[in-house]
Structure 1
Amino acid sequence: MAFPQPRPQAPQLPRHLLRTVDCQQGAVRAVRFNADGNYLVTCGSDKTLRLWSVSRGVQLKSYSGHGYEVLDADGSFDNSQLCSCSSDKTVILWDVATGQVTRKLRGHAGRVNCVRFNEEATVMLSGSIDGTVRCWDTRSRRMEPIQVLDEARDGVSSLKVSEHELLTGSVDGRVRRYDLRMGQLHVDFIGSPITCVCFSQDGQCTLSSSLDSTVRLLDKSTGELLGDYTGHQNKDYKLECCLSHKDTHVLSCSEDGCVYFWDLVEGSLTLKLPVGKAVVQSLSFHPTEPRLLTAMEGRVQVWGVELEETEVDNEQ
């Protein structure tokens, strides 16, 4: 006698506000989880980077060394290093524990929009308004990049690294995927300036958001459009998109003060999460749990599936 299979449980979404962190560093340009999701990094218009405890919402360290507002940051896999980029055209490598600048790298001709480590944190990659991606060796003392990728015809707005692949989005409306192992370049034409790109968790797809208020899911190997997601507003600002930790939902910031969640397969809007009355500048999804960070003006919000016990006690 066969029993019917239990229906799969619907994935739970981070819809409850756990805490708000007043960063006091001007406008927060980007917020990022670290590799294990226990800490978060904020990039401020006051030229500083700050490291926070996610669970307590307290500041652990501040990093000063940029000459203008900080636009993006990334943490190494072992949490020992941070890299950041700024409107001052520089990329900085930091020692997390001491807060000291390890390397300050110059070479871009304009604002540096995005920066990422490779998986071993042996290389930093930075994308700039000057249309180039520069690759920097973190272990040597040389101040020149080990490689410059200059295929973009306009500013590089976003980049992501996965194993031997590099994904970039440009204002020229193209998503470029570099296979560094094979030395190949794959280009997908979107047509509208790209604001953010990312890989799916399973590595089979790419996600990109653009200034036509559309997020698109593409098959990585063929470039086929698998889904497009609309309803949010993205016409004027460099807003971010991402996938949930299990690839079940597509998320995007919006200029109307909300974060939009769509079902990846069906394309239907699952949740419209109201964050506030301004533009949601940045978001970051926890690497292993249904937890979300959002940045609006000078504050960061931490969202979870359900309220934690302390918050429940405070509400009663």
Structure 2
Amino acid sequence: MATIDLRTEIKEFLSSRRARITPERAGLPAYGGNRRVKGLRREEVALLAGVSVDYYVRMERGSLAGASDGVLDAVASALHLDEAERDHLFHLARQSRAPGGARRRRAAVTVRPALGQVLDALTDAPAWICNGRYDVLAMNHLARALYSPALADPRRPANTARFVYLNPEAETFFVDYDRIAGDVAAKLRLEAGRNPHDEELVALIGELATSSELFRQRWASRDVRLHRSGRKRVHHPVVGRLDLDVESMDLPADPGLILNVYTAPADTATADGLTLLASWAANQESLATESRALG
């Protein structure tokens, strides 16, 4: 499969969001105690969104091409979609409207030299750039040291989604492994809505689904999530536990690229750990330089 089936994606996303909303949560009366559907009925969503039942049924069957932004907003409100879910719905609609030749937008795989300079200027914080597929495109020295277990895979570009789901070390490396695994699947699904014709993305999703039962479970949830700030707790094999504050930022001049920067407050165990990590990284680079010279 070289593309995401948009109609199926739309159908399953909308039906899964409808199934989680009870009439009480939507502010509707729940007549009788023996409802045959989980969550709202289609006619109830149509009522809340102010569209005809037939129109909403067509939408949930995968037809968003004719839906206006106003209708999409109304459906998003009726289904209590959060920001990421709303974005996903609009991405699916835009892809449905686009002519076949205009849909394809591949996630970038190269980084401008100026961005590499930005990474290198961040000497006290691990920083790296990825695309929506989680391909590692550029790293500073501290990020390479931090993610050394993920970089052990010889395939390039390295891919942290592959590390999370296919490398057993990830369960030890990430303190909050279950949350990280859910985040990765949810962000990949959001990217699939943006770029359903990205062959490398589809191939990655297929590889993960074939090789990981956990990924299949997370993918089946239909959840989506944005790259944002947060906390990442890792157990590095050399320096131990690091509790890092994460900022993930889209790069407007380079659509599809994301800058990730990890920091820690001063005078904390994690700040000391980053200093130790920098020392270890410098020692590793020195050993590698000596080895090349001897070779």
Give TM-score, length-normalised by structure 2. 0.25
In terms of fraction of residues, the more helix-rich structure is 2
Choose between structure 1 and 2 for higher RCO, CA contacts under 8 A separated by at least 6 residues. 2
Structure number with larger C-alpha Rg: 2
